[in-house]
Amino acid sequence: MKLYNLKEHQEQVSFGQAVRQGLGRNQGLFFPSELPELGDVDALLDMDFVSRSSKILSAFIGEELAADTVTQMVSSAFQFPAPVAKVKDGVYALELFHGPTLAFKDFGGRFMAQSLAAVTDHDGKITILTATSGDTGAAVAHAFYGMDNIKVVILYPKGKISPLQEKLFCTLGGNISTVAVNGTFDDCQALVKQAFDDEALRQDVGLNSANSINISRLMAQICYYFEAVSQLPKAERDSLVIAVPSGNFGNLTAGLLAKSLGLPVKRFIAATNVNDTVPRYLQNGQWAPEPTVPTISNAMDVSQPNNWPRIEELCKLKGWGLGELGYGAVTDEQTAETLRQMDAEGYLCEPHGAIAYRILTEQLEDGETGMFLCTAHPAKFKEVVDEILEKDIDLPAPLAKHNAMDLLSLERDNDFEQLKAVLKSVQD
């Protein structure tokens, strides 16, 4: 598999290089030079999740990794289902929250961990360093947990992530070290950047990032769109509209890639909260990001979505007009109202999924089948959901288990020397 840098097309890399590097020169995103032909999509839809996903990912990766290796990677990564639930006639929820950290990021994070392990030289040291404000850190920590030749260091702002989130990934131990930094999320990101800029340190501990724009994550996410369609009654597969709650737009990119591989999807809808750079752009052609506004769907509080250039490239290559994309943006009040409506209809949701549901049901036309992505388990946003629905929702087993465990985080100041010492110590 070859990929090129969207900012400097002459930079071409292999799958392995793209996974290891994350980004190309000049912060450019990698994009596949060729989109594979999958042949008979109906036959593919008849296969089970792991076999089908292995086939799709192997077609992408090509000769670089043996098909057996890819199958092993997929079976280790996808150890939980992506079920489709019927919410009401003609409207389905794709539940992507049955993994260890209860959000869709488990699919991408776990396949990325497998990919990185498959394409790195095991004699060298590898230290994954990342900063998190919640979801990504948890997915990365759980994905790499137990891969003893890879050490993971995760920084987060002390006291500024929800206690439930903190318990979920700061209780693992083993090859996972978590550092509560006396500072803000921006301070954590600045420390990470400083570490990557320190060439000697980078070599010494084999620094690597688990960045959300890594191509292996997107590839993994393509697979659950196929899995979703495979669970629909055949009669409802032909006029399918899928609404995607979007922040950095990785999920929508993966959906469009699935369509480019032949998955029958009539239309996608980009659903956002009031951080609506993309809906405004689709409406008036002006790319005009505004300062990010905090909302109750905080995983989508992004005003400069970093995957957008991939969507533009794909549409250009396929000759799809951006006008074919549906879009919409929802306020917090509307999100709350929708959560209550869904609850009355018998489906417990959380803010991100509710945004997609609202825009989907507003825009669905007669004869179409609708599906929306549920990107996180309602209990992950328990404080917000409990308040809106006046309930006390149960913690699912993985959250309850970690919630009862002791925090193992180190506490450090916003100081590069202290971070450096931590990075060196995990490799000793």
Ligand X SMILES: *Cc1c(COP(=O)(O)O)cnc(C)c1O
Pair 27, 7: CB distance under 8 Å: yes
352 versus 412: smaller Cβ distance to ligand X: 352
115 versus 212: smaller Cβ distance to ligand X: 212
Dihedral (C-alpha) 313, 225, 292, 141: value to the nearest 10 degrees? -110
| In the complex, minimum distance from the CB of residue 75 to ligand X, in angstroms, rounded to a whole number | 24
DSSP 126-185: EEEEEE-SSHHHHHHHHHHTT-TTEEEEEEEETT-S-HHHHHHHSS--TTEEEEEEES-H
| In the complex, minimum distance from the CB of residue 135 to ligand X, in angstroms, rounded to a whole number | 4
Footprint on this chain of ligand X (rule: CB under 6 A): 103, 105, 135, 245-251, 299-300, 352, 375-376
| In the complex, minimum distance from the CB of residue 247 to ligand X, in angstroms, rounded to a whole number | 3
Distance CA 225, CA 259 (A): 9
| In the complex, minimum distance from the CB of residue 259 to ligand X, in angstroms, rounded to a whole number | 16
248 versus 303: smaller Cβ distance to ligand X: 248
Give me the phi and psi of 4, to 5 degrees please: -120, 155
| In the complex, minimum distance from the CB of residue 384 to ligand X, in angstroms, rounded to a whole number | 12
| In the complex, minimum distance from the CB of residue 134 to ligand X, in angstroms, rounded to a whole number | 8
Q: Which two tokens stand for residue 277?
A: 């750079």
The residues that bridge with 245 in the sheet, in sequence order, are: 271
| In the complex, minimum distance from the CB of residue 67 to ligand X, in angstroms, rounded to a whole number | 28
Nearest CA-CA partner of 263 in 73, 52, 31: 52
How many CB atoms are closer than 10 A to CB 293? 12
95 versus 227: smaller Cβ distance to ligand X: 95
155 versus 302: smaller Cβ distance to ligand X: 302
Pair 209, 128: CB distance under 8 Å: yes
247 versus 328: smaller Cβ distance to ligand X: 247
| In the complex, minimum distance from the CB of residue 45 to ligand X, in angstroms, rounded to a whole number | 24
In a 3-state reduction of DSSP, which class is residue 268? strand
135 versus 332: smaller Cβ distance to ligand X: 135
116 versus 139: smaller Cβ distance to ligand X: 139
Nearest CA-CA partner of 8 in 22, 23, 24: 24
CA 139 vs CA 142, 186, 301: distances in Å:
5, 20, 18
CA 92 vs CA 352, 361, 369: distances in Å:
15, 11, 8
Distance CA 24, CA 222 (A): 22
